[in-house]
Amino acid sequence: MLRTIAIGALLAGAALPLAAQNAAGAPAPAPAAPAPAPTVPLPAALSAEQMPAIPLALAESARPYLEARGAGFAGWDPNTRAVLITTRFGNVSQLHRVAQPMGARIQLSFEAEPVSGTYAPVRGDVILVAKDRGGDEYFQLHTLKDGRLTLLTDGKSRNQPGAWSNDGTLIGFSSTRRNGMDSDLYVMDPRDPASARMLYESKGGGWAIIGFTLDKSAAYVADYNSVQNVDLYRLDLASGALIPIGDPRAEIAYGGARVGPDGTLWVTSDAGSDFQRLGRLDPGTGKFTPVTSETWDVDGFDISADGRTIAYEVNEAGSDRLRILDVGTGKVTKVDALPAGQIGGLAFAPWGEIGFSFSSAKSAADVWSLDPKTMALTRWTRSETGGLDAGLNVEPRIVTTKSFDGLEVSGLLYLPDPAKFPGKRPLIVSVHGGPEGQSTAGFLGRGNYYLNELGIGLFYPNVRGSTGYGKTFVSLDNGPFKREDSVKDMAALIDAVRKDPAVDAARVGLTGGSYGGYMCYAAAVQLKDRLTATQCTVAISNFVSFLENTNPYRRDLRRVEYGDERDPKQRAKLTEISPLTRVNEIAKPMFVITGANDPRVPKSEADQMVAAIRARGGEAWHLVAADEGHGFAKKANSDYAFLAQLVFWKKHLLGE
Residue 12 has pLDDT above 50, yes or no: no
Distance between CA atoms of residues 128 and 171, nearest Å: 9
Share of the chain above pLDDT 90, in %: 91
Which of 418, 430, 428 lies closest to 501 in space, CA to CA? Answer: 418
pLDDT tens digits for range 283-316: 999 999 999 998 999 999 999 999 999 999 999 9
pLDDT tens digits for range 417-475: 999 999 999 999 999 998 889 999 889 999 999 999 999 999 999 999 999 999 999 99
End-to-end CA separation in angstroms for the chain: 43
Which of 317, 399, 316, 392 lies closest to 361 in space, CA to CA? Answer: 392
pLDDT-derived band at 362, boundaries 50, 70, 90? very high
Q: What pLDDT, on a 0 to 100 scale, did the predictor assign at position 37?
A: 87
Which of 656, 655, 648, 643 lies closest to 46 in space, CA to CA? Answer: 643
| In contact, 636 and 66? CB cutoff 8 Å | no
Q: What pLDDT, on a 0 to 100 scale, did the predictor assign at position 10?
A: 23
Per-chain mean pLDDT for the chain: 93
Distance between CA atoms of residues 29 and 18, nearest Å: 9
Distance between CA atoms of residues 593 and 445, nearest Å: 19
Its pTM stands at 0.91
Q: What pLDDT, on a 0 to 100 scale, did the predictor assign at position 32?
A: 66
Distance between CA atoms of residues 582 and 576, nearest Å: 8
H or E, element range at 23: helix 18-23
Q: What pLDDT, on a 0 to 100 scale, did the predictor assign at position 30?
A: 65
Distance between CA atoms of residues 370 and 356, nearest Å: 8
Average pLDDT, stretch 266-271? 97
Task: Calculate the alpha carbon distances from 405 to 401, 402, 409 in Å.
Answer: 11, 8, 11
